[in-house]
Each structure stands twice: as C-alpha cells, then as structure tokens.
Chain A
Amino acid sequence: MNNWFKSGSPWVWLSAGGVSISLISVLGLLWLIASRGLSYFWPADIYQFDMTDEQGKPLTVIGEIYDRESIPTAQLVHLNLDIDESAETIERLLIKTGNRELVSLDFRWILVPQINKTSLPEELVVIERRTNGNFYGYIEDIILDGEVVGQQKMAELVERVSDFQTEIEALQKTDIGAINYQIERTRLKERKHRLDETLTAELEQAFKDEVASLKAEYQVLEKQLMALREKVSRDQIVVRAMDGQKVTINFEDVLHITFNNKLSVFGKMKLFFSQIAAFIVDDPREANTEGGVFPAIFGTVLMVLLMTVIVSPLGVVAAIYLHEYAGNNALTKLLRIAVINLAGVPSIVYGVFGLGFFVYMVGGSLDQLFYAETLPSPTFGTPGVMWSALTLAILTLPVVIVSTEEGLSRIPSSMRHGSLALGATKAETLWRIILPIASPAIMTGIILAIARAAGEVAPLMLVGVVKMAPNLPLDGNFPFLHLDRKFMHLGFHIYDVGFQSPNVEAARPLVYATALLLVTIIVALNMTAVSIRNRLREKYRMLEH
C-alpha cells in the first residue's frame, strides 16, 4: 500500500479523475439539455388518478406526470394524513393539470399513497389552445354553427378554423400592417416637408388624399376581418374537466386536439416531429411561454449575418496585416496585445460601449441629421439590430483574426516566394495565391465568430434585444430591411422566459427546448469549424512534404 502511494500511481489516477469529471460534466450537460428539450415535444401520456383526499372524499386528478420526488415523512406529519408513518419517505408526483380557467395553478402535487387507481383512459383529450394553456378532459359535444354534431366532424372543424385563422393573420399582419406603415410614412414625409419649410398647399392636399385613400382601404380590410372573425366564433366544443365541470371552448381558440393515450408509437412520432416543426416556425404565445420561437430564430440569424458582413473583411484584413505586412516592431507587439485584450474584455463592457458610443452618440447624431422628422422619438438613437451587429462584430473580431492568421502561418513561404519570383506584386500574390489557399481558415474563423455571436446575450441586452418584437426587422414594407428595429434573440429568449416570465414553472420545458435548439446550432457550427480546420491542417502537412 505504502509502495503503491510512493509510486505516485494514486495521484495519476486522481488527475485522471479530473478528466473524467470534465467529460462527465460536458456530456452530462449535453444529455440533460437534449433529453429535457426533446421530451417537451414528445406527446406525454395523460393519466387519470382516482384518489381519496385528506377529508376522505373521492377526487379525480387528470394530467401529465411532470416530476416525482421523495420527501421525508416527517415533513408531512403535521398534515394529519392517513398514511403509513413508518416509511421514511413518501413519494409525491407533480401533475400538470392545465385548465387554467378553472384553477389558477397549472400544477399540483399529489401524494402516491393517496392514489387508489391510476388509469390511461383512451378518450382523454389534450386541447392545445391559444390562450389559457392546455385543457385536459373528455369531449362531450361538438357544436357547429350553433348545432350539436357528431365527434367525427372534429378533425375537419379544426382544419377549417385553422384555415380561417391563417387568413385572419395574413389580413392583420400583412395587409393592415402595411397600410398602417404607409400612413405613418406619409405622416413623416409631411412632417419632413414642414420642418424643411417646403410644404406647399398642393403637397399638403396630396398627402391628405393619400391618407384618406389608405384609410378607406383600411375600412374595407377591417370589414373583411370582422366577417372572418364572425365565421370563426360560431363553432364550439364542450368538454368535461376532471372535477366534472363542463367547459365550452371556442374553436377559434383551439390549435390542436389530440388523444395522446390512443396514439401508437408511430402516431406519437408523427406528432413529435410536427411539434418540433411548429416550434421552429410558429410565433410565441402567452407572453412567450408557449408556442414557437420563430421570431427569435429569425432575429438571431439576421443579426449574426449582419455581423458577419461587418466582421469578415475587417478581421481578414487585420490578420493579413499582422502576418504579411507588419514588421517585428513595437507597433506589432502592441497590436497583438490589442487582439488578445479584445478577446479577453468581458462581453458586457462591449455592451456598455455599444450603448454609449453606437446607440447614443452615433445613432443620436444620425437621427439629428437624417431623421429629424420623427424626433423626439428616436430612429437609430435607440438600441436596434444594426448596433447589435456592430457591437458583436467588435467582440468577435479577435476570433476571425486569430483563426485567419493561423491559416496564413500554415501556408509554406515557398508559395509566396514562387509567386513573387514570377513577377507578381505582393498584392497580386495575396489576392491570387494566399487568400484562396487560406480561405478555409477564414471560413473557420467566420464560423467560430458566428457561433460565439449566436450565444452571446449580455451585450445584446443593452444594444437591441427585446423580449417581444412586434415586427421582424425584415418584412414586405419598403425599405424591407429595417436596421433600426429591435429584435428577438434565442439566448435572450432563454433568459427572459426562464427568469422574467410570470409562470416560470410552466414555461420551463419551452426553455429547455429553446436551449436545445441554441446548443444544437452552436455545437454544429463549432464542429464544422473544427473539422474544416483539421482537414486544412492535413492538407498543409501534405504541401510541406
């Protein structure tokens, strides 16, 4: 034993333990996010628990099992329950009961010893709704245009209503939105003329006519909208909740009706994938705690693309300077220290700088110069997607520089010499020889920068991200790309829904799903970058021989 310790072997094992713990934590973390995130989409079984409550009355609880835990019996003694007190712990279940209009809480704890019978009735239905969350219960009646019809009509009805809803949405968002936008633009144009003192009587009249015609159009659309709403509100469904109460739900509220307990594994799979698809393409509902994350994905992608456009040329040029042009002098040393520090400065500092310099100073001046007609409400003098992209471009600049420079340093100098010897200028050598060979390294740098930017939240909280953006930064209204608009971001969505939403417990699965989406994107980007880099290294190794 003593010899064994003297050999140092236990310490080697202990250091191996460090590796094991790191591996466990990385893989465990990914597994945790993946399992929790994916289980959000998997159609859960709906249980019916027949139980006896504290007063000895029978009670029925219907819902999904959300969590289970053991608690020491000692903690429950004061409740005077009729349970076996000899057991050290008692199991209890957290049930998601939904039906928010009947009970204010989505969840309730039940004690396992109080359950008399657990069953999975096939007729139990889950109704996913636009408001008030899920409803669990039994279908009693279907009402079509005020008349009771058979249950077999249901699928048809859901489809019909969903078609109407799509139409309503298109009307509201696209058509009416566009008209409102045009009215606002006309008002601003008029104001601009007024400020420049170029507003003539004819112009004023023209503007007035334009607004009047737009308003007339608006009236027509509004009538259409009312008619559609009228149509949609006639179909209803009557359901019975777990306590026997009958609830009437309008079909316009209904998104999906599924009999989870009836579904086969194949059916569940189908539902699983359709739910993932819906999560990606749908808008959020109920203060972001339900529905999809499409605007957040869109915002993240757009912001990152803008950032790429800014950071790529800057980073590549800086790397070329450092590797190809800079001499071995104090300035170069300073530059390298600057690059290291840009990489090491906390991201929130970039946020502060972005807010002060870009938003208030640059943006404020832009407003004064070009958008005087909208003042005092700011256009660029407020956080927005352009400032976010600029801020993150500075933040990710060192990533591109370091990666590009590494690629440049792997190019054998014989290639440069060959090109120069054949009479090419340095610029031509760079453009025709060096850059094409280094392009995979540049790609790697850009991908790593994108991965970094996609996961960064702290600076964005200051320079442009919001919990709920009414409009996407890209839409059908001229000039189509609205760089001044605020946007939603996946990372911020996680923070906001997980920590700022009114019903954190109910929103948690959605946060896991969002986290899974973000992690998948970032891990995939990183793995791509790493594999490109590895392939590149192999290639240069071949070049050297």
Chain B
Amino acid sequence: MAIASKSANYRKVKNSLAKWMITLGGISVLFTLVLIFMYLLYVIKPIFESAKVEPTAQFVITEQSKVLATGVDELKEVAYSITEQGFINFYQLVDGGGHKAGDKILSEQLTDDGVYIKQLVNVGQEKKLLLDSAGNVRLVVPHFFANFDSGERVIVPSIRYPLGEDFLPLDEQSAAFTKLSFAMDDEKAVFVGFTEDKRLLKTTLLAEDDFSYDTAFDTEYEEVDYTAKAINDILVSPDLAMVFVRQGDQVAVFSLDDEEAELKATIIPQLSQNKSQPYHITSMALLSGGSSILLGDDNGSVSQWFEVATDQGREFKEIRRFNVSENEPVSAIYTEQYRKSFYTETPSGEMGMFYTTSEADLWRGKLHEGNAQAFAIAPRADGVVLFSDNELSIFSVENEHPEVTWQALWQEVWYEGYPEPEFIWQSTSGSDDFEGKFSLVPISFGTIKAATYAMIFAVPIALTAAIYTAYFMTPGMRRKVKPTIEMMEALPTVILGFLAGLWLAPIIEIYLPAIILLLIFIPASVFITAFTWHKLPRETKTRIPETWAPIILIPAILIAAYAAFALSPVLELHMFGGDIRQYITNDLGIDFDQRNALVVGIAMGFAVIPTIFSMAEDAIFSVPKHLTSGSLALGATQWQTLIKVVLLTASPGIFSAVMMGLGRAVGETMIVLMATGNTPILDWSIFQGMRTLAANIAVEMPESEVGSSHYRILFLAAFVLFVFTFVFNTLAEFIRQRLREKYSSM
C-alpha cells in the first residue's frame, strides 16, 4: 500500500510538473513576441529623449586675475584656465597620476613678463589666439597626451605652438588689432583682423613645408577693401573659403577662394519689423562644418544662415530661427566641433542647447548665476566646463542623438547646401564632415509603392484563380491545382528576386511593348477561346467539358504571349522609333531604370499570389453549400450566384486575404533588394525603382555603428514594419475568426 501511494504521489508530481512546464512553454510564445516589441522600443527610445545636463564636479579655485578661457581634455580628466595675466593653469579633475582631484598640475606663462592678455580669441575648440597689451599676437594650443607608462592611464598636459613660439608678424605696419580671427590647415593659415587704424587686413602664412611638423612659413599681406569705424566680430571658416565680418547689424561675407579677398555677399537680417524699438545683433558663431553662421539678437532669437543656390545665383538665406529667450539678448553662442549643435547664453546666465538641422530644442537651464567668465564644450561633446567666481564646474551632457526628432524623420528638412527643404535619406557618404540625412519618408514611400504595384499585379490573378478553384473547379482537379499554386509560397524569395533582377528585368527592358500587348492579348485570347468553345458542337463540348477551362486556356495564353513577344520589335520599330527606352526618356521625359517598379510589381506579385489565393480560396470554399443551392434553385445562374451570394458572404475573408498579402508585400526584403536599384526617391513612376524599409535595413544594418543614431533609426524602421504588419495581421485574423463563427452559425 505504501509503495502504491508513493508511486501515485510520484505520478501526481510528474503530472503537475508537466502541466507547469507546458504552460510555461506555451506562454513563452507570447513572451517572445512581447520581447521583440519591447527590445525594439528599448533600442529606439534614446533617439527621442531630450538632452540631460548634470553637474559632476565643482572645485573652488582662486585665480590671480580674470579667467579668459577654459577647456578640458577628451576624457574630462584635466581642465585648464587661461588668465588675463597670461598664465595657463591645468587642474586635475579626477584622482589619478599621483594627483588629487582639484590639484593644479601644471602652470605656465604664455606672455612676456609685465604684459597682460588684452584679448583672447577662441578658434575652434582648442586653438587660442592671444593678443597682448604690447600688441603682439601668438597662437597657443593646450595639448593633452594619454600616458600609459605606469600601467594606468595618466593625462599629461602641455602647451603647443602650431605656428612657432615667436610672435606672429601679421601686419607690416605693426599696428595692434582690435579684432582678429584665423583658420588654418596643413598648408596655410589665414588671419583676418581689424587694426586700431581701421584697416581690414588679411595675412596668409604659407607653410614652407607642412605645418603639421614644421612651423616655418612665408607671409603674404593684403589689405581688404572695406571701410568701417569698428567691427564687432570676425570669423574665418575652417575650410579657408569664407570670412564673415560683422559690423553692427550687417555681416559682410568675403570669399577667400581667389588670390584677393572679395566681397561676395552681405547679410542684413530683418530684425525689427512691426516693432518701434529696433533689435540688434548681439552675437555670431560659425556652425560646425563652417558653411552656416548663427546670428543671435537682443530679441532672444538665433537665426541660421547659409548659402543657397537660387535663380539669381548663390545667396545667403535665413534658414531657420530659434527662440532662445523671451526677453533677454543672446550674449554668446558656442558651437560644437563635430556636430551641428550649439549652446546659447543670456546675460542672466540662462543657457540653452539646440540642434540646427532637426530644429531640436534640446535643453534649457541655468548652470550658474550671472554670466560665466569662461565656458567650453568638451571635445567629445559629452560635457561642458564653466569658470565663474573662482569656481570651476564640470557638467556631463547626455546628448547622443540630437539630429533625430520626430519632425526631422517625417517632415521636410532644409539641409546645408540644398536649395529648399526636402525629404532625403542619405545615411553615409565618403567625406568626413558629412551630415547624415535621415528622413523616413522616401523609404516608407518606396515600401508603399512596391507593395501597391505588387498588389495591382497579384490581386486580380489571385482572386480570379481563387474564385475559379473554389467555386467552379471539379474536386479532382482542385486537389492537384491548389497544392501546385501553394507551392509557390514555399519558393525562396531570393530566387524570385534573382530571376526578377537578372532574367526578367532585361527581358522587360527589351520587350517593353510586349508587356503592354500582353495586357490586351491575354484577356482577348481568353475570350476568343471561350467563344470558340461556346460555338463548338454539342458532342465535342461533352467530350471537353467547360470544367477543363484552365487546361484549355494554358496553350491559348501561351500562344497569346508568344504573339505579344513576336510583335514587340515590330511595334517598337513603327511606334517608338526603334528604341522604346529612348522614346520614354527623350520623348516622354520619364527616367527609365532597368530595375524598376514594373519588375518589382511582377516579381513580388508572384510572391504574394499564393498567400492571397490560399486564404481567399478557403474563404470562398467554406461558404455553406445550402446558400448556393438555394440561390441556384431560385433560378439564378452560376455566375449570378457567385457574385450576389458567394462573394458577398465571403467578402470579409477575401478582404483578410488581401490584407495578409499586403502585409507580406510590405515586409518582403530580398525581391526588392535584388529587383530594384534601391535608390530612395519619391516618384510613383512605374519605370523607376525605389528603396523600401526592409531593403534599406538589409543594406545598411551591417555597416551601421552600434548605438549610433543611424543604427537606432534602422531599428525604428524595423519597428515601423513590425507595427504595420502587426495591425494588418491582427485585423485579418480578427475578421477571419468572425467569419468562421458566422459560417458555423449558418
């Protein structure tokens, strides 16, 4: 007895264990779907988050005089300050290298004794032009070097002089500058400055060899033809192509491409329409890349300007405007080195972070009461440093994806160098300072275009075939025909795509007239065959019954197709001047791609025919027989019964079949990838290709950097596809369930 109960217990435990295991296994399916959904969301989420700025460290540091500039190394471990007295001091920000956080680790004098810095010009992130009280100019770069000698990483600061330690001979007449700026590459450095005796000078230092290892240079002087009492700002673009000189509310743009600096445009912003009190420009900055300038005014707004090709030639236009502050002037604009982000500051210390292209308002806040003495963005744009009132503050900035906003993804964006706002998908290019253009509109459009052409091709064929197979076909033939057509669903799409791209596309290109002829010839051949059969004598009709129609029609359609292809060259010769491609491109003015929407439509049509066919056939076939029998008994013809009774009853099922087909066409990857040129264009033309969401993912995903905006946007594309097909499939399934219940109640 004891043994029996033990074994009974054991069986019970096993039984409930099995139950739990199986339940767990069942639920895991749901879990998988939810996991996919959540994971996609998890990857996408960061691109829509706004920026975060948080203080990480603060140090009380007493400098002997006013701080003119500050900065930090790439890893945010060492910061520096340059004081009015001409000293640069480096401070350790984290413990390491034998120093405590806050220690001064290096101090050097940058000017001669007794001379103070009159003006410090920040050029780019690291170069500092020092104009001292004796009227001399020197270029210095605080440099950081990561040393691993002791086993741990130690950041060692030093000072570099890219143009030599000597004072720079920028004016032949040795006048002092009131404003000065410059930019340089390996071959030359161009200085543009305004002297105390009111001359605008351009001085070019030509490297004898290469500035990256030899500081020797020759000098060329030029006085620019420009008169002004005083100048507010000068900026030289880093590619040495343009100089922006601001005098009050006007910005003169000089071109440096030729030997002599030439005035190419004057920017006069419309500042004070409808206002009695005029507004003025208060600050100016060059955006990363050097082709846009940002102008801040005392109305608290910043406008972006760049050169645009118009009918009158190239001119500077105001592209967009940011409202930075309600009532305060914009006292300073700081731009990032590699991205098109900028920070603004107002006199009360209100700061803002913006991204130009996406028009993103990323962050606003106050880092400090009042204006900071010096402010700098960390080289990797992941932090800022601020010097004010003897306090050095470090903030971390979390701003990975400023270029992506919902608006930038789905609306027209005005990119630098483009004549107008456009929808563009262009994720990579050869050049380094390329700005990724991520508009999902062209690729979503391509998806819809491809699916539409596929459905135009597939729906008529699939539905007519489904109707005939379910309603008119003899059971014996149906048993053979249905699996044959359904076998097409199992064919790998890579094979359909390959045939479409390498076999069908060239055929369509050569025999384009034949494709048009087929549209007429095939229905015509069907009608002619039907009519011939109708006129046949009765005995022949009984021997070849009408139920054989699909078989009888096969040779008829093949002959029609052969005729269409045979006539194609003749038609081409007589109607299209011997070359239909030239006719289309030259006479009709339509671009013609070999791998176009027509090819995709046909190939993807073939891929979705079995899906639609199979489900629509099921829906029609399961219409209760008593409905059709009733209709026929009342005297309706077969055709009338079909149209008025069967199709009407099955219509929800047919609809859900089309839905499923559409879902498949939208997500199909390989066919589109192989049968189109994959160019993201916005054009319905049947003779041009497209790029779809799915193909775009397949092409670009392997090359995108993990965690980058591009990577996350591709996940977003996958998410869009997921949600789209989820809606379609759930809807179709829901309709099918309803229909099944309806049938079973009949």
Contacts and interface: CB of A to CB of B under 8 A. Distances in A.
Whether chains A and B associate is yes
Given A74-B573, A348-B721, A20 B554 contact: yes
A494 B495 contact: yes
A335 B729 contact: no
A389 interface: no
B701 A14 contact: no
Most A Cβ at <10 Å: residue of B17, B35, B550: B550
A12 B472 contact: yes
Contacts of A401: 29
Contact of A7 (B36, B554, B637): B637
Contacts of B667: 345-349
A351 B693 CA distance: 13
Contact of A12 (B30, B40, B497, B638): B638
Interface stretch (A95-103, A163-171, A450-458): A450-458
A495 B674 contact: yes
Given A457-B492, A462-B701, A340 B718 contact: no
B28 interface: yes
B224 interface: no
B266 to A, nearest CB: 50
B729 A341 contact: yes
B467 interface: yes
Contact of B492 (A350, A394, A428, A455): A455
Query: Is chain B's interface secondary structure helix, strand, loop, or mixed overall?
Result: helix
B18 A427 contact: yes
Interface string A398-419: 0001000000000000000000
A75 B728 CA distance: 50
A328 B111 CA distance: 86
A511 B550 contact: no
Nearest to B722: A349
Contacts of B21: 317
Contacts of B14: 425, 427
Interface stretch (A141-149, A229-237, A271-279, A522-530): A522-530
Contacts, number: 331
Interface string B691-726: 000100110011000100000001100100110011
Interface in B380-422: none
Nearest to A72: B578
A63 B22 CA distance: 65
Interface stretch (B132-140, B239-247, B305-313, B482-490): B482-490
A508 B503 CA distance: 10
Interface string A330-346: 01001111111111111
A314 B702 CA distance: 29
Interface in A356-411: 356-357, 360, 394, 397, 401
A322 B491 contact: no
B467 A430 contact: no
Interface in B664-690: 664, 666-670, 673-674
B613 interface: yes
Nearest to A337: B730
Contact of B494 (A320, A397, A494): A494
Contacts of A360: 706
Contact of A26 (B484, B527, B637, B701): B484
- Identify whether the interface residues of A are mostly helix, strand, loop, or mixed: helix
B481 interface: yes
B557 A75 contact: no
A29 B534 CA distance: 32
Contacts of A9: 530, 534, 546, 639
A318 B549 CA distance: 44
Contacts of A494: 494-495, 498
B718 A458 contact: no
Interface stretch (B145-153, B271-279, B456-464): B456-464
B590 interface: no
B534 A4 contact: yes
Given A23-B485, A72-B573, A337-B733, A318 B28 contact: yes
Contacts of B549: 12-13, 16
A9 B733 CA distance: 34
Contacts of A59: none
16 contacts: A16-B526, A26-B488, A338-B30, A344-B663, A345-B667, A346-B667, A349-B40, A353-B40, A356-B39, A394-B32, A426-B15, A456-B492, A458-B669, A461-B702, A495-B673, A499-B674
Q: Which 8 A-B pairs have the closest CB atoms?
A: A346-B667, A8-B639, A321-B26, A455-B492, A18-B464, A317-B25, A16-B549, A427-B18
Interface of A: 1, 4, 7-27, 29, 32-33, 69-70, 72, 74-75, 88-89, 313-314, 317-318, 320-322, 324-326, 331, 334-353, 355-357, 360, 394, 397, 401, 425-428, 430-431, 451-452, 454-458, 461-462, 491-492, 494-495, 498-499, 504, 508, 511, 515, 518-519, 522-523, 526, 530
